Structures are given as structure tokens and as C-alpha cells.
Structure 1
């Protein structure tokens, strides 16, 4: 009887394991944000020494996680020449995890912020060190749980200067644009006292809605849909972050973020104001969605370029 019980437990163990939801390492997640949002990074404005320091930290983290490079480098250099700024060398950081499929999911989060103004450092802990921290957590997850589809992880520069990093990525993509099935963009995930993380994009790409609705709440965070209807005016987030550049190309996207808070684009957007219980669960919701889409992307209709 004892042998039978042990055998039954062994058979049940894989099933039980599948039922358990994974969660990012909260200590690592918070450490990444704390480093990126430190005063020493000087607000990470594109083209500055602080931005370069953030690059160096992220390159180290990409290597630690084990992301693969395109053409032996994580770096994609580009020039910003706009009415808002001129930057001779901005830099996207791009790595990937191979899947069995040639189709690709692109996960993005911008690491730049607005720098210093009138003697104040704008550290951008929520905007968008939090999104980058979650990107690193997702990359670490999929190195341990290999995906079916290739997943590109792109820490983008120049978002605050007009979504320039996303434009550069798509103007010179590391894979054919036709192979990109989905963009998952993260921008501001860590400050919300109501436990609400929004997923924006299903209005434009309704085929994604059933999958977003399958993402179950975590203890301290739940997923809401919205902020993607042009009729909402300023509450429409379609053009508010890097996902918009993918949308312009007809590539489906989901943008994960919190609603604006008093620290948005203020010197008070510091690490100390991050919600340490909400944020890890918010990052986990994004990873849950990525897992779901990795398993079901082939059921969705192909997009047109």
C-alpha cells in the first residue's frame, strides 16, 4: 500500500507543478529598479552619462540571465534628431531566447527617463525602471521555462524623446517584421494602491481579449482592460508609449501599465514610493500573459504589414 501511495504521488507531482503559478524573485526585481532609479544614474536621459551607466548595468544583467545576442552584440545604436533633442548615439539593448517556432514575440520597456531639471533629479523609478525590471524578470523566467516561440527582449532608449528607440528597432529590425506576432510593452508597473494593472490594446486587436481575460488575479494585483478607445481622448493610451510604433506597422500589441499617479514625471518618482507588494504581482501578471500567448499565438490570425 505504501508503494502504491508513493507511486500515485509521483504521478500527481507533475500535475500539481503545472497548477502552481510562477512568480518573479521579488528581491531581484526590486534591486534592479533600485539600481536603475538611483541618483547616480542622473535620470537616465538619452545621450547622458547616467543613461550610459544604466546601459552598462543592463548589459551585465542580460549576460547574467543568458540572453542571446544578434550579430554578437546586444547594442543597437541610432541617432535622435527631433525638435525635442539631438542625440548622436542613443542605444537600444536587444537580446533573445530561441523558440522552436520562427515566429516572434517582442517584449519591450524603455530604460531612459527625463534626466535633471532645475537641480532636481528625475529618477523615474516607476517610469520606467519598473517596466525594465519586469522585462528582466520575464527574461529570467523564460530562460528557465524555454518558450515555444522566440522571444526578443528589448530595453529601448529614447522613449521620452518621441518613442525614438521603438522606431529605430522597427526601422532596422533584428528579424523580419512579418515574423513578429505580438508586442508586449511595459511602462509604469509599480505604483498603484488599488492593486490595478491595466492591459491596453484589445480595443484595436479584439482577438487578444479572450486571452487577457484568462489571466487570473494575483494576491496583490489584478488585470483590467481599457484605456485603448480613441473616443476616450486623453485617457486613450494608444499613442502613449513604445507600443504605438508597433501599432503603426500593424503589429498587435498589449501595453501593461498603471494609471497616472502624483509622482508621474515628478522628482518624487523614487524607489521609496514603489509599492513592494503590488509590483512583483503586477510583473507576474505580465509573465502569466506571455506564457499564455506563447502557448496560443498560432491560433491567432496573422497580421498584415
Structure 2
């Protein structure tokens, strides 16, 4: 009898302990540190490590109190596809030999409203490198802390704050798989939605929001996809230096929803030297910056919670205007720079810019015979050259103009 009593006591202690563990608040840093840990080997789509990340996200959504909104009453929506040979072709969602299975993780707050806000972020990354990696020294774990454990972490915090707080809309939270292979998870969801997309009011995408700079520059694209975005964003701005872009098309998951004629926003803190490299680690992120971004997004969501459904508006596809070029300088452009010219945010070793002596922080103002005033004019200038060509380049460095010659 004493033995049975002892077992029961242990059982109830364990039960209480497990309950406390589930209810324990998980910090933003803890979420990101888990997803960007070496043990997940870069969360490549279709790998056992991506499934570990998916299980973690399912447990987090469950502990927050989100309802499952994947397939068959689960939090998971799986999709099987053949890897694309042509980067410009559409994905083939098929089963059979040579296919890969990705897993979207989806949770839901059902407030019985007639409109639904979709909040998403991709959780897959590059695994050990390969196609898409900018690391030239062989295989290594690409942890993808900024890209995009940062967006997933902010999304989970928004889910916690929206649970039982804003009843005017339903809220769908999605952690996408397959983004690095071509927006596959979001594409599949839009073709096989687990909610009525006619009720979708807007989609907010957070991809790389972990490196907010000291000047608090925050890029937001999709601002032309409904007439009121700019007004709402500017009226609620707590002090960001906003760089707004109207286009609803871009290299992240919001594009899939824009193509379904749903208003979108994409939040982004800019590229950096660790982008698509093994050095994108959780210790380098700006956690206060992410909290500030999360609060800003929450304010925007709150303003739209009980308003009428937004009107969708088509925007110019800026990606169609990007010139094709055969050569590169070997630099990482600063996409958040809003001055005259193209500011260099990183220089790759043994590439034309490095050999010519160009440095991080230099602003390219002339390339060949072309004046460079912004990113588009820089790309147009670059498109005129072929491998083996040489070109004069002028950069501004600490208030001085410096001339150099590059060989492509």
C-alpha cells in the first residue's frame, strides 16, 4: 500500500512539474536560441532537424493556446515536391521518387469574426550550406538566427499577446517551410488553404528582423497593397526610420499572399555580412530591437482589429525591372541606405571590389560612365559589363571621393 501511495505522490509531483514547464514563459531569446542551435543543423527543408523544429513550434503554439489549423486536426500541413531545376519555374507539388516533404506549422485564434489576419514567418534555412550559401569554405552548419529564427520568435510573441486580447478578428499564425527553396510552403498553403481565404484581411510577414541598427532603420514593403498602409504605419511609428516600398512582390513569403490579392506587409531590418553564412548566430541579434518591432506590429494589428476589411490594390512589380547582369563586384549592398549612391555593407575576399581596395561603408557614386544614385542605377550600370571587362569606379569614403579600377 505504501508503495502505491509513493508512486501516486511521484506521479502528481511529475504532473505538476510538467504543467509548470508548459506554462513557463519562454523568452524571445530562448525561442531563437533553440531554433538556431547547432543540433538542428540549419533546419533544411525535409530533414529530420526541420521536423524537430516543427515539433518545437507545434508545442509552443499549443502552450500559448492556439488551436491547430493544419491538416486533419493537427498543427502540421505537409507538402511534397520535386526540387526545382530551373529557378524561374513553378514548384511541382507531387509525390514519388526524388521528392522532399516540407512541413508548415499552423495555429489559430478563432474569435468568430468575419475576417482573419494572417501572421507568418519561415522557419527553414540552408542546412549545411549548398545552393544559396555565401560561404565559400565547404560545408558548415548555417544556423539562420536572423534568417529566420528572428521572425519566428517575434511571431510567437505576437501570438501570446493576441490570445484573448483583440476579439475583432481571427488570427492565423504560420511558420512556413520551404521558403529558401522558393517560397514553397506559403505557395502550397495559398493553393491548399486551411481557412477561407475570402475572409483573409491581410498578411504580415517577418523575415530577418533581428539586426535592427542603431539608427533604427526598418524596411517595410507591400505598403501599396492597400490604400491605408502608409497612413497606419506612419501614425503608429514609435521612432523607427522607415524605408517604405509599395511593391507586394519580393523574395519572401508575403508574395504568395499578394498573388492571391491579399494586402501584405513585409518587415525587414536589412542584410549583413553574416547573411546566408554559418556566422548568422543568435548571440549577434538585437533582442531589444525585435521587441520594439513586435510592439510596433502589434499596434498596427490593434488599429485594424475592428475596422472593415481592407481593400486590395495591385502594385508595380519592381523585380521585373531589375536588369540582368553577368558579373558582380563581390559586395553586399546596404538595402536600407536612403542616400545618394549604393553603400557597401560587406566585401567578399578575392572578388573585384576587394582586389580594387573598396571597403565596407564606401558609397559607390559612379561605375564606368554611369552615375550611381541608388540601387537600381547601380544594377543598370553593372549590367553593361561582361567577364574580363575593366571599369573605373568612384566611391565616397569619409567625405572624400576615391577612384579605383575594378576587373570583372
Same fold flag (TM > 0.5): yes
Tell me, yes or no, if structure 1 residue 259 matches structure 2 residue 249. Answer: no
User: 1:216–1:27: structure 2 CA closer, same or farther, 3 Å change rule?
Assistant: farther
Tell me, yes or no, if structure 1 residue 140 matches structure 2 residue 166. Answer: no
Higher deviation after alignment, 78-87 or 179-188:
78-87
Conserved? CA contact 1:227–1:238, under 8 Å:
no
What does residue 311 of structure 2 align with? 301
Q: Cα distance, 1:153 vs. partner?
A: 0.3
Conserved? CA contact 1:181–1:303, under 8 Å:
no
Q: Cα distance, 1:291 vs. partner?
A: 1.5
Conserved? CA contact 1:103–1:181, under 8 Å:
yes
Q: Cα distance, 1:227 vs. partner?
A: 3.5
What does residue 285 of structure 1 align with? 296
Please give the alpha-carbon distance, in whole angstroms, between the structure 2 residues aligned to 1:242 and 1:83: 17
Deviation by residue 1:206-248 (Cα, 9 ceiling, x = unmatched): 3322111122316xxx26142345xxxxxxx832100001111
Bigger share in helix: 1
- TM-score of the superposition, structure 2-length normalised? 0.62
What does residue 104 of structure 2 align with? 92
Tell me, yes or no, if structure 1 residue 48 matches structure 2 residue 59. Answer: no
What does residue 72 of structure 1 align with? 73
What does residue 176 of structure 1 align with? 196
When Rg is computed on C-alpha atoms for both structures, the one with the higher figure is: 2
Q: Cα distance, 1:279 vs. partner?
A: 1.8
What does residue 222 of structure 2 align with? 201
Higher deviation after alignment, 268-277 or 80-89:
80-89
Conserved? CA contact 1:228–1:238, under 8 Å:
no
Q: For residue 261 of structure 1, give the secondary structure of its aligned residue in structure 2.
A: coil
Return 5+ residue gaps in structure 2 as ranges: 1-23, 86-90, 92-97, 130-137, 315-408
Deviation by residue 1:122-154 (Cα, 9 ceiling, x = unmatched): 100000000000110010001141431101001
Moved over 6 A (4+): none
- TM-score of the superposition, structure 1-length normalised? 0.82
Please give the alpha-carbon distance, in whole angstroms, between the structure 2 residues aligned to 1:206 and 1:263: 36
Q: For residue 245 of structure 2, give the secondary structure of its aligned residue in structure 1.
A: coil
Q: Cα distance, 1:27 vs. partner?
A: 6.7
Deviation by residue 1:237-295 (Cα, 9 ceiling, x = unmatched): 83210000111111110111112111111111100110132121122212221212213
What does residue 8 of structure 1 align with? none
Return 5+ residue gaps in structure 1 as ranges: 1-24, 230-236
Select the residue among 260, 273, 288 that pairs with 2:284: 273
User: 1:69–1:216: structure 2 CA closer, same or farther, 3 Å change rule?
Assistant: same
Tell me, yes or no, if structure 1 residue 37 matches structure 2 residue 48. Answer: no
User: 1:27–1:63: structure 2 CA closer, same or farther, 3 Å change rule?
Assistant: closer
Conserved? CA contact 1:109–1:128, under 8 Å:
yes
Please give the alpha-carbon distance, in whole angstroms, between the structure 1 residues aligned to 2:124 and 2:281: 15
Conserved? CA contact 2:226–2:312, under 8 Å:
no
